[in-house]
Structure 1
Amino acid sequence: MKKTLIKNARIVTDMKVFDGDIYIEGDTIVEIADSISAKSGDTSIIDVEGKYVLPGVIDDQVHFREPGLTHKGDIASESAAAVAGGITSYMEMPNTIPQTTSMEEWQKKMDIAARDSYANYAFMLGGTNDNLEEILKADTSRIPALKLFLGSSTGNMLVDDVEVLKKIFSKVKLRIALHCEDEGTIKANLQKAIDKYGEDIPFDQHPVIRDVEACYKSSSQAIKLAQKTGARIHVFHLSTGKETALFEKKASLKDKQITSEVCIHHLWFTDEDYASKGSKIKWNPAVKSVDDREQLWKALLDDRIDVIATDHAPHTLEEKSNKYLKAPSGGPLVQHALTAMLQFVHQERITIEKVVQKMCHNPAILFDIPDRGFIREGFKADLVVVDTNNPWTVTKENILAKCGWSPFEGVTFKSRISHTLVNGHVVYQNFKVNENKAAQALTFKR
Structure 2
Amino acid sequence: MTAEPLHLDPFVTDLDGESALLRAAGPLARVVLPGGVPVWAVTHHAEARELLTDKRLVKDINVWGAWQRGEIPPDWPLIGLANPGRSMLTVDGEDHRRLRALVAQALTPRRVERMRERITELTNGLLDELAAHGKPGGTVDLKAAFAYPLPMYVISDLMGIDPADHPRLKVLFEKFFSTQTPPEEVVATLGELAGMMAKVVAARRAEPGDDLTSALIAASEDGDHLTDEEIVSTLQLMVAAGHETTISLIVNAVVNLSTHPEQLELVRSGQVGWDAVIEETLRFSTPTSHVLIRFATEDVEVGTGADVRTLPAGEALIVSYGAIGRDEKQHGPTAGVFDITRSPIRHISFGHGPHVCPGAALSRLEAGVALPALYARFPGLTLAVPASDLRNKPVLTQNDLFELPVRLA
What is the TM-score with the length of structure 1 in the denominator? Answer: 0.27
What is the TM-score with the length of structure 2 in the denominator? Answer: 0.28
Relative to its length, the structure with more helix (as a share) is: 2
